Amino acid sequence: MRKERKPYITAKTKGDKTRWYFRLTWVEAGKRRERFIALPDDPDSAEFDRAYWSIRSGQSEQVKAPARQTWRQLATAYRGSAKFKKLAPRTQKSYTDTIEWILETNADKSVTTLSRQKLRELHMKYASTPRKADMLVQIVSILTNFARKQMDWTIDNPAEGLDLYGKQREYEPWPDWMVKALNDAPLVVRSAAELILGTGQRPAAAIAMRRDQFNGEWMTVTDEKGDETYEIFCPVVLRRYLDTLPVGGAHILARNLTQPMRYDSVEKQFRAWRESLGESAKPYSMHGLRKLAIVRLAEAECTDAQIQAITNQSPQTVAYYRKRASRKKLSRSAWSGPGTQER
């Protein structure tokens, strides 16, 4: 007895091969349209039934209408905008990394599928990496606000009102023993450290410095966060060190003739060197060298205005590290006074 065929199924035979299809029909602009969607080869299999009912119920990806207002559309528009192009290169990269992370699993999903509750759960999921978790919330907020204001999308901002973890701690200035250990560090690590300590810039900006940014006793430095470039005095120690380096390209830390080494590459070498110093070196990062520059300037009795002119750090940051320097200086003076060495 012939098994009754399900509605909308059709078979096409070519040679000795029969293929099964779901025949989808609709009317468009007064004309009848049709589309054939391939089904599994065995019409008696459970796999065939699942595919058939998925198409007929409209759940199959093959018949679902393409999502509107997707993350891909939004990300493309934002990264092509004047607003994004005005950002500093380092900021653009930071934003792009998080945007690509979002697109990995959500590119073709509608932006509206991300609820406030879901975003809160994701934020909590990555609590062990608070900077990454906060950046996710911030980028979602930036993108959705851009969609509402620049693309006229009627959507909510699921990040609105969510509390961020915020900055977890201030970077620790390097101790003297670790600075001295740089004498035996790999050339890339030492050069990066000398640039950060001598220029007071953020690590990424210091690593990307070109040779033409140094001109005698002056150097041109960049504050990536504020998208600002300015000229300051170049310390003699840094000038002497740079004179000893081989020329490998246009940059101090050259990847090739025209490009600097990538921050990630330098940071990886730094971490390997730091690990070789033992557990006591673990709390210190390349950012800590910039903070050490503030401490040293404060110990040399530079004013806050002078320190800000060199490092371009905020008054609050300068005040924080000046307090650290003052505490050390005062404790040294106290124990060096008359009678303090007697027992």
Token pair, residue 228, equals 């600002």
Q: Tell me, yes or no, if the pTM score tops 0.75.
A: no
322, 292 contact by CB (below 8 A): no
Q: What is the pLDDT of residue 168?
A: 60
Q: What is the pLDDT of residue 340?
A: 46
Q: Rounded to whole angstroms, how far apart are CA atoms 129 and 123? A: 10
What does the pLDDT profile of the chain (343 residues) look like in tens digits? 456 778 889 999 988 889 999 988 877 777 888 889 899 989 889 999 999 999 888 788 777 655 689 999 999 999 999 999 998 887 898 899 999 999 999 998 999 999 999 999 999 988 867 888 999 999 999 999 999 999 999 999 999 999 988 866 678 889 999 999 999 999 999 999 999 999 888 888 899 999 999 999 999 987 655 557 888 889 899 999 999 999 999 999 999 999 999 988 999 999 999 999 999 999 999 989 988 888 888 877 778 887 787 777 778 788 878 777 666 555 555 455 555 455 4
176-334 belongs to CATH 1.10.443.10 = yes
Domain boundaries, the chain: 9-56, 71-150, 176-334
Q: How far is CA 170 from CA 167, 195, 296, 316, in A?
A: 8, 21, 17, 12
Q: What is the pLDDT of residue 216?
A: 92
* Phi and psi angles of residue 250, each rounded to the nearest 5 degrees, phi first: -70, -20
Q: What is the pLDDT of residue 139?
A: 97
Q: What is the pLDDT of residue 332?
A: 56
- Name the E strands within the chain: 9-14, 17-28, 31-38, 214-215, 218-223, 228-233
- Phi-psi sector, 194: left (phi>0), alpha (psi -120 to 50), beta: alpha
Q: What is the pLDDT of residue 215?
A: 93
Q: Choose among 285, 293, 279: nearest CA to 325.
A: 293
213, 232 contact by CB (below 8 A): no
DSSP 147-186: HHHHS------TTTTPPP-----PPPPPPHHHHHGGGGS-
